[in-house]
């Protein structure tokens, strides 16, 4: 592996409809900051994130690590919202129920 190859950053492949979800997340974070009167400069100083990374988060950029999103959510007092993701797994329960009903 050459030196150029080792510095290539790998990013996840995100489909357009899923990018929309990240874009909405970025919008929601922007609105949460505005509601709290937190500027990008304030968020930058509170989280230690670089200004370009913060801008990417607020746009819903998929190349930013989940950990950075968590830092922003924590600063906004919203980090516990992540525990709600996949909590109510309706599809998973239905699939499990079908499997249980088919057992004899």
State the angle between helix axes of 66-75 and 40-47 in degrees (0 to 180), rounded to the nearest 10.
Answer: 110
For residues 72 and 48, is the Cβ–Cβ distance under 8 A?
Answer: no
Residue 104 pLDDT exceeds 70: no
- Looking at residue 6, its pLDDT comes to 55
Mean pLDDT value of segment 79-94:
92
How far apart, in whole angstroms, are the C-alpha atoms of residue 29 and residue 11? 22
- Looking at residue 9, its pLDDT comes to 72
Convert the pLDDT of each residue in 30-60 to its tens digit. Answer: 999 999 999 999 999 999 999 999 999 999 9
Residue 2 pLDDT exceeds 70: no
Picking from 48, 98, 104, 102, the residue whose alpha carbon sits closest to that of residue 72 is 48
State the angle between helix axes of 51-59 and 66-75 in degrees (0 to 180), rounded to the nearest 10.
Answer: 90
pTM: 0.80
């Amino acid at each position: 592996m050459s030196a150029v190859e080792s510095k290539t950053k790998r990013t996840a492949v995100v489909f357009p409809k899923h990018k929309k979800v990240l874009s909405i997340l970025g919008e929601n974070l922007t609105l949460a900051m505005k509601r709290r009167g937190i500027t990008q400069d304030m968020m930058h100083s509170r989280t230690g994130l670089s200004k370009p990374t913060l801008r990417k988060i607020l746009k819903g950029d998929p190349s930013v690590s989940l950990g950075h999103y968590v830092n922003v959510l924590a600063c906004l007092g919203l980090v516990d919202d992540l525990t709600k993701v996949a909590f109510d797994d309706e599809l998973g329960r239905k699939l499990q129920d079908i499997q249980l009903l088919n057992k004899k």
